[in-house]
Amino acid sequence: MQNRTIKNYSFIAILLSCFSIASARPNIIFILADDMGYADIGCYGAKDVATPNLDKLAAKGIKFTNVYAMGAECTPSRTSLLTGRYPQRVKGMECAIGTGNVGRYDDAIELADQNELGLPASRAVLAPALNNAGYHNGVFGKWHLGYEDHFSPLDQGFDEFTGFLGGNVDYFHHVELSPIHVLLTGREKVKREGYTTDLISSDATTFIGKMAADKDTPFFLYLPHAAPHFPFQAPDSDTTLPTKENWLAGDRETYAKMIESLDDSVGNLVKALEETGQRKNTLIVFASDHGAIRPGDNGPYRDFKSTLFEGGIRVPLIANWPGHLEGGKTFEDVGTLMDLTTSFLRIGNATVPDGKNLDGIDLLQHAADGTTPKERTIPWRAKRGDRTWRAFRKGEWKYVSKTDGNATEEWLFNLASDPYEKNNLAPENPKMLSELKSELADWEAQVAL
């Protein structure tokens, strides 16, 4: 009888152990490239860039081909990711914060003058919600959501932070073209030696190794890389600090090497997960924050970063989670990077704070199930100085406008027949043009602060 009881307890213990493993919340790793074009990865068409690690993640996971950033520049895109909401819901955040903490349009200028330009802790959603759900959160890399100390990641649900505050930082000296010291560990100014991508990779693998020792605590690891944003410096480049005049100078060969270094970093991360036994319980998502500038490659899509044509906002997105996301699948339905917030919170069993309803959908759930989201309307607005871009996608139709001073240009495209935005259909479709403009105006009124 005693032996049978022991056997029963052993069987129950095994069941409980299996249940605990099966129900364990996954680790979540989000890798964000900076200014990388849609076609700058092998699996998205790059012929002159070797990205075997990213290609492998896509081959064994899901590749998304119709995903948008919610901003055509760094700051608004990152704001939407960490809030799960339109960047226009946070005052001053729909344009990249300028080097040296500069505001670039009316609201942002006003906030910068008050030392209040950045993402307030009260508006952060993703990291605090995961933190409250028991996740240990780390961010290593580019922040670009405020220079002031009260915009620190440590006040926004992150337990660890090493990275830089500005938008473009030298890869060897870790300084920008302003007198502000931008490289921090936690809240402390630090100096480090090494190439930025390598340092971020090292921080990530150290974090993964440390978390492996705490089997009961899942982690959220946010890796906003600098690469391949200017200044264009590869690991083998001249380490001399670029002058202001050549800060933007670069060629395709150097740019390709920067991406290849980033791909190596992804390989190191996967290896660290495998060696610590955490790979099967870890979701890895990779994306770019918006389209590229030259010498980046946005593939067949029109134009570049800072515009709201497809080349400025269409981004690559790869999701890989062994046993959960079907390998080798391509998901072609419309999504946004903002949707990842909804997906991450659901996967982490985290609760959205009251009053912070998310604007995105659960894109990863749709991809896993193979279900098509209902027809979406996606609005954009991007201000800088006297220039304002606007865009609105509804189903296959997309409206784009650019106002510069008193002059406004307008375009209307049917993306089903013209995905590369070559034919302006506005003159012959006044009814559709009016409908999209009206819905866009309604959205602007809704998010007005």
The span from the CA of 132 to the CA of 159, in Å, is 12
The span from the CA of 223 to the CA of 225, in Å, is 6
Q: Which residues of the chain form CATH 3.30.1120.10?
A: 386-447
Residue pair 170/176 in contact (Cβ under 8 Å)? The answer is yes
User: How high is the pLDDT of residue 402?
Assistant: 98
Q: What share of the chain is helix, strand, coil (3-state, %, to 5)?
A: 35, 20, 45
DSSP reduced 3-state for 219: strand
- CB-facing half-sphere around the CA of 254: CA atoms within 13 A: 16
Distance of CA 327 to the CA centre of its chain: 22
Buried b (16+ CB within 10 A) or exposed e, 4-38: eeeeeeeeeeeeeeeeeeeeebbbbbbbbbbbbbb
Backbone angles phi, psi at 35, to 5 degrees: 65, 30
CATH no. for 25-374: 3.40.720.10
Report helix angle 339-347 to 74-83, nearest 10. 30
Query: What pLDDT digit, counting tens, does each position of 104-135 carry?
Result: 999 999 999 999 999 999 999 999 999 999 99
* Residue 61 DSSP class: S
Q: Which residues of the chain form CATH 3.40.720.10?
A: 25-374
The arrangement of strands across the sheet holding 377-384 comes to 377-384, 387-394, 397-404, 407-414
**Cα–Cα distances in Å, from 414 out to 153, 331, 335, 374, 430?**
40, 20, 17, 18, 13
User: How high is the pLDDT of residue 353?
Assistant: 85
Q: Among 294, 312, 183, 303, which Cα is nearest to 228's?
A: 294
User: How high is the pLDDT of residue 11?
Assistant: 36
Can you tell me which residue has the tokens 């500069």?
A: 102
Decide: residue 300, CB within 10 A, 0-12 exposed, 13-18 middle, 19+ buried. Answer: middle
User: How high is the pLDDT of residue 374?
Assistant: 87
Low-confidence ranges of the chain (pLDDT < 70): 1-23
Query: What pLDDT digit, counting tens, does each position of 262-305 carry?
Result: 999 999 999 999 999 999 999 999 999 999 999 999 999 999 99
* Residue 280 DSSP class: G
User: How high is the pLDDT of residue 14?
Assistant: 34
Can you tell me which residue has the tokens 């991007």?
A: 382
The span from the CA of 128 to the CA of 350, in Å, is 9
Task: Work out the mean pLDDT of the chain and round it to a whole number.
Answer: 94
Fold designation for 386-447? Arylsulfatase, C-terminal domain (3.30.1120)
- The tokens for 75 are 């700051």
User: How high is the pLDDT of residue 30?
Assistant: 98
The span from the CA of 337 to the CA of 80, in Å, is 8
- The tokens for 406 are 């008193």
Radius of gyration of the chain (CA): 22
